[in-house]
Structure 1
Amino acid sequence: MRSIWTGSIGFGLVNIPVKLYSATQESRLDLDMLDKKDHAHIRFKRVNEKTGKEVAWENIVKAYNYNDEYVVIDDEDFEDASPKKSKVIEISNFVDAAEIDDMYFETPYYVEPDKGGAKAYELLLRALEKTGKVGISLFVLRSAEHLSIVRPKDDYLVLHRLRFAEEIREPKDLSLPDDVKIAKKEMDMAIKLIEQFAEPFDISQYKDTYRDELLRIIKAKASGKRAKVRKMKVVTTPSSDLFDQLKASLGGNGKKRVS
């Protein structure tokens, strides 16, 4: 793995030199875009709108439109905006992990101690484990400020980027059911069904089967065939049939069924 950020984690007067590594990778198929007529590759060019000529990456700068005038911003400007946050993941306070709503969680990164930081890294890891706390911090990555938590996982630290509160939409515009009557026997049956299907969570049981099926279809088309696929129609359960459907579900073999 290649580190994407190098700096330090600071808590109190302690600074731990660290490196961040992306903890995720794409599982989607890498699809190219072609012209429908002759299957030629579609290319995207960075074009100067005045001259119509393509512009190389090294000649492209970032700018902000301020009062109808562009102000060019370079890497030094981004760092000058907050030199400390560009180099330090400063933990401002510690909170219980359970206090953070899952809605705020975004991207995870592995945290590795850099040269000379092993003991302080281990100290923070063990202290977080014993207290059940996570560290809240703000830091700059790729010219943007991010809210994050530093948390222990197994024998290493993970930094998890969080969304800011203003990035979460309010659910007030949802059309939700109002004053729906649920019969006791329906609720009891639903609870029994949930208990029947309850088991410890194991992420390894879940695979990206859509990707595999799509790849199977691609391979069949490459050999001049059409893969056999099962057509399905989504059927909703009418309110009047809820109890009967729940009862029938309980009558199964306890395995998850695919419609």
Structure 2
Amino acid sequence: MRSIWNGSISFGLVSIPIKMYSGSEDGRVDLDMLDRHDNARIRYKRINEETGKEVDWKDIVKGFKTENGYVVLEDEDFDNANMKKSKTIDIEEFVNEDEVAEVLFKNPYFLEPQKEGKKSYNLLKNALKKTGKLGVATFVMRQKEHLSLIGVYKNALVLHVIRFAAEIRNPGDLKLPSTKVSKKEVSMAESLIEQYTTKFKPEKYKDVYNNQLMKIIKSKSSGKKIKPEKIDSTPTPAKDLMAQLKASLEKKKAKAS
């Protein structure tokens, strides 16, 4: 793995030099965009609006538009906006794991200690494991400030980039139903949930979609056509809820026996 950010974690007066690695990878099938007429690849060019000529990456800069034109920003400008946060993941407080809403989570990153930080790395890791806490931290990466949580995953420190509260839309804008549900129906649904409750094992879940997409690609390359699977997505009528819940419970019990 190649590190994507180098710096340090700090909590209190303890500073831990670390390297950051992406903790996830894109599982999508790698597809190219083609011209339908001849299957030639589509390529994008960076064109100067004034001259119509292509611009090399080395000549491209970022700018902020003002009334008087653009203010061009160089790499050092982004670093200087907050030099400390560009180099330090500063833990500002600790919170209980169960207090964090899943909707805030975005991307995980693994943290590895640099040579001088091995003992302090283990100190933070062991303390987080023992207390069941997460460190709340902010830092700057790729010219953007990130809010994050630092915890432990499989004996490694992991940093989760999370969303700022302002980035979460208000679900109050949704047209949510006010339809009443009986106590008996809720009780039956609770029983069904209990029947299906197991210990979470992420390794048992596979990316089925990608495998199926590859089958279609192989079939099309050999001139065959796969018949689409028929899916019954008929909504359950309100009057049939109890019957369907009961049938689901019986089906699960029969499968377990």
TM above 0.5, one fold? Answer: yes
Q: Give CA deviations for 1:191-224 in whole Å, capped at 9, x if unaligned.
A: 2221221211111121111111111011001001
Match of 1:175?
A: 175
Output the CA distance in 2 between the equivalents of 1:227 and 1:221: 8
Output the CA distance in 1 between the equivalents of 2:226 and 2:27: 22
SS of residue paired to 1:252: helix
How far off is 1:66 after superposition? 2.2
- Point out where structure 2 has 5 or more consecutive residues left out of the alignment: none
> Quick one: which amino acid aligns to residue 153 of structure 1?
Y
Matching of residue 54 in structure 1 with residue 54 in structure 2: yes
**Deviates further, 235-244 or 147-156:** 147-156
Q: Percent identity?
A: 53
Aligned-residue Cα RMSD (Å) equals 1.5
Match of 2:77?
A: 77
**Deviates further, 75-84 or 182-191:** 182-191
SS of residue paired to 1:236: coil
How far off is 1:169 after superposition? 0.2
SS of residue paired to 2:124: helix
Matching of residue 250 in structure 1 with residue 254 in structure 2: no
Matching of residue 66 in structure 1 with residue 63 in structure 2: no
Q: Are 1:139 and 1:145, in contact at CA under 8 Å, matched by a contact in 2?
A: yes
Match of 1:202?
A: 201
Match of 2:224?
A: 225
Output the CA distance in 1 between the equivalents of 2:99 and 2:11: 20
How far off is 1:131 after superposition? 1.7
How far off is 1:254 after superposition? 4.7
Matching of residue 45 in structure 1 with residue 45 in structure 2: yes
**TM-score normalised by L of structure 2:** 0.95
SS of residue paired to 2:115: coil
- Point out where structure 1 has 5 or more consecutive residues left out of the alignment: none
How far off is 1:154 after superposition? 2.8
Output the CA distance in 1 between the equivalents of 2:19 and 2:253: 46
How far off is 1:252 after superposition? 1.2
**TM-score normalised by L of structure 1:** 0.94
> Quick one: which amino acid aligns to residue 204 of structure 2?
Q
Q: Are 1:197 and 1:255, in contact at CA under 8 Å, matched by a contact in 2?
A: no
Output the CA distance in 2 between the equivalents of 1:176 and 1:165: 22
Output the CA distance in 1 between the equivalents of 2:202 and 2:159: 20
> Quick one: which amino acid aligns to residue 164 of structure 2?
F
Runs of 4+ in 1 over 4 A off after TM superposition: 253-256
Output the CA distance in 2 between the equivalents of 1:250 and 1:128: 40
Q: 1:93 to 1:253 in 2, by over 3 A?
A: closer
